[in-house]
Amino acid sequence: MGRVTERRRVVRIRDGNVTTRADTLVGEEPLEVRVNGRAVAVTMRTPGDDFALATGFLVSEGVLGEAGEVARISYCSGGDTFNVVDVRLADGVAPPDVSLERHVYTTSSCGVCGKSSLDAVRTTARWPLPLSGPFGVAPGVLAALPDRLRDAQRVFARTGGLHAAALFSSGGELLDVREDVGRHNAVDKLVGRAYERGLLPLSDAGLLVSGRASFELVQKAVMAGIPLLAAVSAPSALAVDLAEEAGVTLVGFLRGTSMNVYAGAERLQRRAR
């Protein structure tokens, strides 16, 4: 399997002083995801949690949701053995539509974009997200989460080159943290690990991401049944549209004691009283 980090020699210049030293860099390698032997996507990722990344991706695309829908998952034999994962679906589980096949590298902006995608997510989402549901979080609890996430980023502390995503409870406990060069991959790893443990839908958890809140990340929250997405940076306009449509609480610019709530403020107000 590929390495999470690698060492490289660098020339370091500080205040006019030149030295040579070893630097730790984050690993980045392609991962091809196959379903029943057919390639559906290739993503650049940090090696590790590859099976969870594959299943989390398939949850976000509406292929998986219920426990027992995967018969087997394995690395493929041949050349780059640990860079190709094949997910074999259980009998009776419909394979992904041919339109899912992306014989290109996926990026942080990948996915189906445009207003029509709002209808697509609504029709494929398995779990509704009512604003009157049980999950809520106080603004003060949210405000403390970015620092907790940074403290939990062990590889970022060594490389400075990773995004992070975390699931958290209404009381602010970090339930799981994943890191990856792609923030969408970090979320897929979280969702995939939850799927493997039979924890979907994640209706009692919020999702925190270290970057911006793209449409795709809101989509992943919806498909996993996550009622709240918080980001340290800005959301896109389409991300806000989807959050409003699907009933997701969307928080952006979560920095210090400040934040912007773009959709679903009821989940914060209920806990703030």
Q: What are phi and psi of 55, to 5 degrees?
A: -70, -35
Would you tell me how many other CB atoms lie within 10 Å of the CB of residue 102? 15
Selected catalytic residue, list 4, 25, 93, 110: 110
> Any catalytic annotation for residue 110?
yes
Tokens of 158: 């060594």
Instruction: Provide the 3-class DSSP secondary structure of residue 150.
Output: helix
Which single residue is written with the structure tokens 């060069």?
181
Tokens of 212: 């911006």
Distance CA 52, CA 58 (A): 10
Q: Are 231 and 252 in contact (CB under 8 A)?
A: yes
Q: What letters, b where the CB count within 10 A reaches 16 and e where it falls short, cover 106-138?
A: bebebbeeeeebbeebeeebeeebebeeebbbb
**Angle between the 215-223 and 237-246 helix axes, to the nearest 10 degrees?**
20
Residue 80 DSSP symbol = T
Catalytic residues: 110
